Amino acid sequence: MEYIPLNKIAIEYSLTIDECYKAILNHSNNIGIKLLSKVGAETMCYMGVLNAIQNTIQELNNSLTSYEYISQNAAKHIPLERDGHIYYLFNNKQLIYIGQSIILPARIGTHMSNGIEFDSMYCEKVDRDFLLTKERLYIHRDMPFLNVAVLDNYEYICTILSISDIIFDQ
């Protein structure tokens, strides 16, 4: 198996060495496979981890609706069906909030009663199993100013690792 220095992954994804080590070690423990190794004083990581992160990010980016499409297709109606939705709130064409809900009219009503002003929204139906993950990825990508819980780089890499398939050399 081929290994690379852990600091290369840390630098690539703007993580500290400790954050990178913790994320990969946690994932290693979750899947029951050793992904880190010490070579002298340097911590090395199985190359498949970097490949899996890169491939997963590419697949996710391809699966997310583009911001341009979202902003151009924001409307003034709220879907009434009880399905999982990711929603974008806009005010004067400025993205202000991204959220997720199963009962969208009730959630939007909460925003309105809390004084959040918006004039249009975009809704995307999402499988309930992926609502939280997809919401976090959209927030990380588009960074609306009312979302205070922005996914930091460590949480982002942990999310990516949790949904990635690491392929091992034989």
For range 112-127, the mean pLDDT: 94
pLDDT in tens, 123-159: 999 998 888 888 988 998 898 989 876 668 888 899 8
Contact residues for 150 (Cβ-Cβ < 8 A; gap 6+):
139, 140, 143
Q: What's the rounded Cα separation, in Å, for the pair 63 and 61?
A: 5
Contact residues for 64 (Cβ-Cβ < 8 A; gap 6+):
134, 137, 138, 141
The amino acid occupying position 55 is N
Residue-range domain boundaries for the chain: 3-63+158-163, 67-150
Comparing 10-19, 116-125, 126-135, the range with the smallest average pLDDT is 126-135
50-55-60 Cα angle (round to 5)? 125
- Both structure tokens of 145: 């100013």
- Is the CATH number 3.40.1440.10 carried by domain 67-150? yes
Task: Judge contact between 137 and 160, C-beta under 8 A.
Answer: no
Residue 157 Cα distances to 19, 97, 163, angstroms: 9, 22, 10
pLDDT reported for residue 48: 92
